[in-house]
Amino acid sequence: MSPKLQAGTRWQLALAVLVGLFVVASLASFGIAARRVSRVVDPDYYRHGLNYGATQAANPGRDWSITPRLEAGALLVAVLDKSGAPVAGGKVLLTAPDRPALSLAEGEPGLYRAPRPSAPGGELRGTLTITRGPASASRPLVLID
């Protein structure tokens, strides 16, 4: 075989291998997509979006106010409903990415307390979440000494 013919054969072979890899990768992608369905391709995806406001309206916790403060070595969280009445009987949890979750205990109605968690640099960051039955509310927490 002449050198020109060998070079042409190499390019054809390389092109055939690339096309073959593309076909195999495409078939693998289609197979994975058929087995693992995400919410984006959920048949009810648009219905969930259309009814999002209605599902949020059914959550009475969306109108709760959550007010954290530090006092005498404790973290206090006051939770009030939209009329200003205390939200009693809930479960309050402080979550932060760098520490275990901290559960706050209810002392007085709507007032939840836990020992003040130590925070590097005196800055406490996390998310406060309260749940009571099907209702829930959350807010970010940043407290600085």
The enclosing domain of 103 has a CATH number of 2.60.40
Split into its structural domains, the chain has a count of 2
* Domain housing 80: 60-144
67 and 108 part of one domain: yes
Q: Looking at the structure, do residues 33 and 73 belong to the same domain, yes or no? A: no
Q: Is residue 55 part of a domain?
A: no
Tokens 């927490």, located at residue: 141
Looking at the structure, do residues 140 and 107 belong to the same domain, yes or no?
yes
Average pLDDT over residues 27-45: 73
Tell which residue, 52, 29, 51, 49, has the closest CA to residue 39.
49
**Is the pTM for the entire model greater than 0.75?**
no
Per-residue pLDDT tens digits for 68-111: 998 888 899 999 998 999 999 999 999 987 788 899 999 999 99
Beta-ladder partners of 143: 124
Least confident of 37-46, 95-104, 129-138: 37-46
Are the beta carbons of 68 and 93 closer than 8 angstroms?
no
98: nearest Cα among 61, 124, 133: 124
